[in-house]
Amino acid sequence: MSYGIARDVTTSASPDQVFAVLTDATREADWNDLVTRAHKSFGNGGEGTVFRVRHRLGGRDHPVEMTLQQAHLPWVSLAGMSDALDVTETFTIRPAPGRGTVVSISVVYAYRGWLNSVQRLLERRLECAWDGSAARLRKLLDDSGTAPGIPSPM
C-alpha cells in the first residue's frame, strides 16, 4: 500500500538557494519532522549520491538508503527503500510571482510488512508531520541568506 503527500512552500530564497538545500539530503533532518538523522554514504553530491536517512514512522526509526536521482533545476528527486518502507521525494522549484521561489513537494510512501497494518494511523501522522516540515523548510529557506553553507543570491 502507498500514500502520497503534497505541499507547496513559498519562500523569499532564490531558486539556487532552494536547490542547494534540497540536493543535500544531509540537511533534511534540519527541516523534515520525520527524519531523525542523515549522512552522505557515497558520491560527490550530484545525481547518484547515496544518503543514509533515518525516517521515524510507526514509533520506530527506519534506515532508508536514499539516492539523489534527479538534480537539475527545476527538479530534485530522491528515492530510497528499507525493509518496511519505500520513499520517493520530488521537489519542483519555480520562481514565485514577483519575487522568491515556490517549492512543490510530492512524497510517496509505500509500506511493506507490519507498517501496512497501521497505515491509517500513519496517514494522519504523515499529514501533520509534513505540515510542520513545510513550515520548517520555509523558515530555513527564508533564513538562507544568513545561514552558513547556503549560497547567498548573486
Say whether pTM exceeds 0.85.
Answer: yes
The answer to whether 42 and 50 have CB atoms below 8 angstroms apart is yes
Residue 1: per-residue pLDDT:
75
What residue ranges do the domains of the chain occupy? 2-142
pLDDT per position as a tens digit, 31-85: 999 999 999 999 988 999 999 999 887 678 889 999 999 999 999 999 999 888 8
Fold of 2-142: Alpha-D-Glucose-1,6-Bisphosphate; Chain A, domain 4 (3.30.530)
The answer to whether 78 and 66 have CB atoms below 8 angstroms apart is yes
| pLDDT exceeds cutoff 70 at 26 | yes
Q: Which residue has the cell 545561514?
A: 147
User: In the sheet where 60-72 sits, what is the strand order?
Assistant: 2-11, 101-111, 85-95, 75-81, 60-72, 50-57, 35-42
Residue 145: per-residue pLDDT:
56
Residue 150: per-residue pLDDT:
46
Report which of 28, 35, 31 is spatially closest to residue 62, judged by C-alpha positions.
Answer: 35
